Amino acid sequence: MLLLILYYLVLPFVLAALVVRLIRRYGADPVPEGVRRAVAADPPEPKTFRVLEVEGGVESRDARLTKIGDFDAQDKAVDAAYRRRGEEPKPGLAWLVLNDRGDILQEVD
């Protein structure tokens, strides 16, 4: 009976925890260094979302970042990014929606 409990209850959770740990370690999607520096220089308020305009490519070292604004809801930030995209349809521009920790939630090209 104890073996059945270990086999059907404990073992799946242990394996799932190992898989999650491996995904976090090797499957990370790192934030580009320029975005990380911009967020560190001017950190957003807790529980807000920031929109950045990127000129020159997100992964590029010489990308120019412009802060569009901070929003209290993610959908408002995404709407602002799409609104800016409609106003300035230039090639090479992208807009990033970041959370308060600086993680990229959405990229609008």
Q: What is the mean pLDDT of residues 33-62?
A: 88
Please give the mean pLDDT across all residues of the chain.
89
Q: Is the pLDDT score of 63 beyond 90?
A: no
User: Rounded to 5 degrees, what are φ and ψ at 24?
Assistant: -65, -35
3-state DSSP assignment of residue 54: strand
Instruction: Determine the pLDDT at residue 34.
Output: 86
- Would you give the distance in Å from CA 101 to the centre of its chain? 9
Instruction: Determine the pLDDT at residue 74.
Output: 95
Using pLDDT thresholds of 50, 70 and 90, give the confidence band for residue 87: confident
Q: Pick the residue with more confidence: 54 or 30?
A: 54
Spans of all domains in the chain: 1-30, 33-108
Q: Is the pLDDT score of 21 beyond 80?
A: yes
User: Rounded to 5 degrees, what are φ and ψ at 60?
Assistant: -70, 145
Instruction: Determine the pLDDT at residue 79.
Output: 96
Using pLDDT thresholds of 50, 70 and 90, give the confidence band for residue 40: very high
Q: Is the pLDDT score of 22 beyond 80?
A: yes
